[in-house]
Amino acid sequence: MYAVIPDAEQKQIVLVQAPNGAWFLPGGEIEAGENHQEALKRELIEELGFTAEIGTYYGQADEYFYSRHRDTYYYNPAYLYEATSFKEVQKPLEDFNHIAWFPIDEAIENLKRGSHKWAIESWKKQHKID
């Protein structure tokens, strides 16, 4: 579960930087018993300290990647959504990530995963943003 979260003016996107330096859309894995919405809302509290309204579902993007620091191959089905509104309600529960807002095209450039880039491009297309 991952979310494209724009600022109110739709000029910037929030990203999360993992301890390894890679940038990602906010989100993560589904835990036992959760549906997509529940998992994404939990992840946004953990990573950002945000509550959010979940909007458009852009789709599922399956990726396979290798983690050098874990010496493991992974299959990652990414379910990609838009957050239509958000509110910062607390400090993030995960204090090891770095959070930053980027202009839209810079956010796309910074992202590690192609599926996350695709989600922002889909969001731009839906909202008719050049």
pLDDT tens-digit map of 9-22:
999 999 999 998 99
- Among residues 64, 46, 51, which one has the least CA distance to residue 115? 64
46-105 pLDDT, tens digit per residue, is: 999 999 999 999 999 998 988 888 899 999 899 999 999 999 999 999 888 899 999 999
**What does the DSSP 8-state code read for residue 107?**
H
- Whether pTM exceeds 0.95: no
Q: What are phi and psi of 110, to 5 degrees?
A: -75, -25
Question: How many residues are given for the chain?
Answer: 130
Mean pLDDT of 23-31: 95
pLDDT for res 96: 85
Provide the 3-class DSSP secondary structure of residue 44: helix
Distance CA 75, CA 16 (A): 20
How would you class 32 by CB atoms within 10 Å of its CB: exposed for 0-12, middle for 13-18, buried for 19 or more? Answer: exposed
Distance CA 114, CA 46 (A): 23
pLDDT for res 61: 93
Backbone CA torsion sign across 29, 69, 50, 122: negative
In the CATH hierarchy, which top-level class contains the domain 2-126? alpha beta
Beta-sheet strands, E only, within the chain = 2-4, 12-17, 23-24, 50-67, 72-88, 98-103
Mean pLDDT of 34-41: 96
pLDDT for res 28: 93
